[in-house]
Amino acid sequence: MAHEVVRRVEQYGPKLAELAAGNEELGRLSDETVGLLRSAGVLRLLQDRKFGGYAAHPRDFAEAVMAVSRHDGAAGWVCGVVGVHPWEVAQMDPRLSQEIWGADPETWIASPYMPNGIAEPVDDGYVLSGRWPFSSGTDHCDWVFLGALVGDGKGRPASPPTVLHVVLPRSSYEIIEDSWDVIGLSGTGSKDVVVDGAFIPDYRTVNQDEVSAGEAAERHGVTEPLYRLPFTSMFPLGITSAVIGICQGALDAHLALQRDRVAVTGVQIRDDPYVLYAAGEAAAEIAASRVQLLDGISRIYDKVAAGEPVTIEDRSTVRRNQVRCAWRAVSALDEIFTRSGGNVIRRDNPLQRHWRDAHVGLAHMIHVPGAAYHANSVAGMGLELPPPLRVMI
């Protein structure tokens, strides 16, 4: 069952933590880390059962991502991003899933979804060109999801703009090896990918609006509630789960450090009420972030399972809370980081890596609060969201 995945992650936890510094230095996940993730089954939690996946509740997926991130933020981030892609494939033409997993159901799929390319319509498909940064885990993936704007036949986006999610095999894109030099989440190996005139058949594409509204699955007769959830609830789930897990790992490291630490005043930190107060408060804030994130996706899932409509207000509320969960957890991490003592800045201290990874994770566009909070307030008034506010809602 899905909970067995979390149990295996905890079993592998010490080894994942041991490998984390090496992944950062390598600039991608090591083959050994990837082997542990495959053995645990994290990236198969949302995969269709037809190919040996768990088709698990998204709450179980989020808990597994948090569990990995607690030990290695980069590994958890890759699980949170790459682990969502099987969920989307299950909503598309069955020919695609057979192509990807027919020979090897363990095959991974990268992304990103930002519409950085132009897909020019041709007979039976599109011709795509563009360059996309931030392809997390891409070295270990054999396919990729990319966002693309439908072209007007002249190399420009058509008007009004239409965004597609398109899927390409490894032979159709290039990974730019020297494109990932960053201060945090280095181990994710989120390199640029380039496509130069690749043909994509229609069945390997899906309209972003249909996925965002949870409508894509219906076109292919997929009825499970899992695959009818909104993309804008599911994709942020994996990333925010990684950030919360990183913050929990930082708290673990902080408490381990404080157990025997002595301040310059000669006072043992375990007897310092101010440091312990901050740690207790941070623990409560990180726990609250975890609970609220899981509650949001569970509420959306329950509505879909009951056949009830998921409204724009529902979706915007989940997004608002998801953003707040990330900010709350990282703010808690900041409070304990500043109380961890001077040795926290040393590179052999895992807490500094958690701190850097968490802040880089917070910089992802799905954690930008302005538009998400604005949209939720407008939706709460019963007003229609203008197009700029509907992005990622």
pLDDT for position 342? 87
Tell me whether the omega of the peptide bond preceding residue 160 falls within 30 degrees of 0, making it cis: yes
Q: Under CATH, which number does the domain 109-206 receive?
A: 2.40.110.10
The helix-helix angle for 73-82 and 58-71 (nearest 10°) equals: 160
- CATH no. of 2-101: 1.10.540.10
SS3 of 199, please? strand
| Residues 337, 332: Cα–Cα separation, whole Å | 9
Q: Which residues lie across from 207 on neighbouring strands?
A: 164
In the chain, where are the structural domains located?
2-101, 109-206, 229-390
**DSSP designation for 53:** -
Taking the whole predicted model, whether its pTM rises above 0.95 is answered as yes
Per-residue pLDDT tens listing for the chain (393 residues): 678 999 999 999 999 999 999 999 999 999 999 999 999 999 999 999 999 999 999 999 999 999 999 999 999 999 999 999 999 999 999 999 999 999 999 999 999 999 999 999 999 999 999 999 999 999 999 999 999 999 998 889 999 999 999 999 999 999 999 999 999 999 999 999 999 999 999 999 999 999 998 899 998 999 999 999 999 999 999 999 999 999 999 999 999 988 888 776 677 878 788 889 999 999 999 999 999 999 999 999 999 999 999 999 999 999 999 999 999 999 999 999 999 988 899 999 999 999 999 999 999 999 999 999 999 999 999 999 998 899 899
Distance set, CA 331 to CA 67, 125, 320, 334, 380 (Å): 20, 46, 17, 5, 27
CATH class of residue range 229-390 = mainly alpha
DSSP state of 112: -
Cα 35 vs. chain centroid, distance in angstroms? 19
Residue in 364, 390, 102 with CA at minimum distance from that of residue 236 = 364
Q: Pick from 359, 326, 301: which is nearest to 241 by CA?
A: 326
CA-to-CA distance for 46 and 227, rounded, in angstroms? 9
177 DSSP β-pair partners: none
Indicate the pairing of strand 143-150 with strand 115-122.
parallel
Q: Tell me the three state secondary structure of residue 45.
A: coil
- DSSP symbols for 157-176: B-SS--EEEEEEEGGG-EEE
Domains 2-101 and 109-206 share a fold: no
Of the candidates 58, 9, 43, 85, the one whose C-alpha atom is nearest the C-alpha of residue 249 is 9
What is the reported pLDDT for 54? 97
Structure tokens at 383: 């007003």
Contact between residue 78 and residue 70 where contact means Cβ atoms under 8 Å apart: no
Residue-level pLDDT at 270: 83
Bridge partners for 305 per DSSP: none
Q: In the prediction, which pLDDT does 1 show? A: 63
